[in-house]
């Protein structure tokens, strides 16, 4: 499983990277706005925390294919190695993915709500496709089922594109998405802690300490 942090909160990114097995960070324009920092400043700060081995997904904000392609170059110039340019799967977005892929860019098709959007992004050359699980659930569509369909379609077609499931609001959505074959998840810092929490684990640890401390003179 690849775990990514969906956040621009640098304190939380540092904390989660310190404690959890993390493969990368995903950001989007709303996450950048929430951080309240200029994109370049934020990305530089995130890179200082995570280095260049971990993936960093940075979204283009432009709307036309030509502008997205220009922006992708600027994003990669300041984001460095192992940067994935996130591009929403609009008509112009798909054209930009297709052309940027030919130039060797690492790409993530984002804001995905249907399997065919994901398939077109994958065929255009996206390395990852990001369906929005909770936003699908919020319109009475089954986000997990859509993610599973995308995963199955990509694997049936023999494509290397990975599903990077995004937009989770609870642990059950994360668990069910993982149960249905998805192997990359981007998760908010608060949900990482919730994934691990169980009162019986805490009780067990307290019990071990109460019983064993006297005998652990090491
Ligand atoms: O990475 C995409 C994700 O940030 C969207 O999540 O919680 O705004 O639906 P959300």
- Round the average pLDDT of the chain to a whole number and report it: 98
What's the pLDDT at 156? 97
With pLDDT > 90 as the criterion, what percentage of the chain qualifies?
A: 100
What's the pLDDT at 49? 98
Instruction: Determine how many CB atoms are found less than 10 A away from the CB of residue 72.
Output: 25
Q: Is 7 in the pocket of ligand 1 (CB under 6 A)?
A: no
Tens-place pLDDT, residues 67-117: 999 999 999 999 999 999 999 999 999 999 999 999 999 999 999 999 999
**Joined tokens for residue 206:** 């307290």
| Helix, coil or strand: residue 101 | helix
CB-neighbour burial class of residue 90 (10 A; exposed 0-12, middle 13-18, buried 19+)? middle
Q: What is the 26 CA–ligand 1 centroid distance (Å)?
A: 9
Closest CA to 152 of 86, 141, 161, 107: 161
- Please name the residue whose Cα sits nearest to atom 3 of ligand 1: 167
Q: Is 137 in the pocket of ligand 1 (CB under 6 A)?
A: no
Tell me what the mean pLDDT of segment 149-169 comes to. 98
Number of H helices, E strands in the chain: 11, 8
- The DSSP 8-state label assigned to residue 5 in this structure reads E
What's the pLDDT at 142? 97
Q: Is 6 in the pocket of ligand 1 (CB under 6 A)?
A: yes
Render the burial of 19-39: b for 16+ CB within 10 Å, e for the rest: eeebbbbbbbeebbeebebeb
Tens-place pLDDT, residues 18-45: 999 999 999 999 999 999 999 999 999 9
For the CA of 134, the nearest atom of ligand 1: 9
Residues contacting 177, CB < 8 A, separation 6+: 133, 143, 144, 147, 148, 165, 168, 185
Q: What is the 50 CA–ligand 1 centroid distance (Å)?
A: 21
Q: Is 28 in the pocket of ligand 1 (CB under 6 A)?
A: yes
- Please name the residue whose Cα sits nearest to atom 7 of ligand 1: 167
Q: Is 132 in the pocket of ligand 1 (CB under 6 A)?
A: yes
User: If you search the block for the tokens 């959007």, which residue do you land on?
Assistant: 117
- Please name the residue whose Cα sits nearest to atom 4 of ligand 1: 167
pTM, two decimal places: 0.96
Q: Is 135 in the pocket of ligand 1 (CB under 6 A)?
A: yes
- Please name the residue whose Cα sits nearest to atom 9 of ligand 1: 167
Tell me the catalytic residues. Answer: 86
Tens-place pLDDT, residues 160-186: 999 999 999 999 999 999 999 999 999
């Amino acid at each position: 499983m690849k775990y990514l942090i969906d956040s621009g909160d640098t304190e939380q990114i540092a904390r989660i990277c310190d404690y959890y097995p993390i493969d990368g960070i995903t950001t989007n324009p709303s996450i950048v706005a929430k951080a309240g920092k200029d994109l370049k400043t934020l990305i530089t700060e995130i890179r200082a925390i995570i280095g260049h081995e971990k993936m960093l997904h940075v979204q283009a904000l432009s709307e036309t294919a030509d502008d997205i392609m220009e922006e992708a170059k600027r994003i990669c110039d300041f984001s460095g190695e192992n940067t994935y340019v996130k591009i929403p799967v609009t008509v112009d977005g798909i054209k930009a993915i297709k052309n940027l892929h030919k130039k060797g860019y690492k790409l993530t098709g984002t804001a995905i709500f249907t399997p065919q959007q994901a398939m077109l992004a994958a065929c255009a050359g996206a390395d990852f496709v990001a369906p929005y699980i909770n936003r699908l659930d919020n319109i009475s569509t089954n986000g997990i089922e859509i993610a599973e369909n995308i995963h199955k379609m990509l694997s049936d077609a023999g494509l290397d594109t990975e599903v990077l499931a995004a937009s989770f609001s609870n642990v059950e959505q994360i668990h069910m998405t993982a149960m249905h074959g998805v192997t990359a998840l981007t998760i908010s810092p608060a949900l990482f802690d919730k994934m691990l929490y169980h009162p019986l684990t805490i009780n067990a640890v307290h019990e071990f300490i109460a019983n064993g401390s006297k005998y652990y003179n090491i």
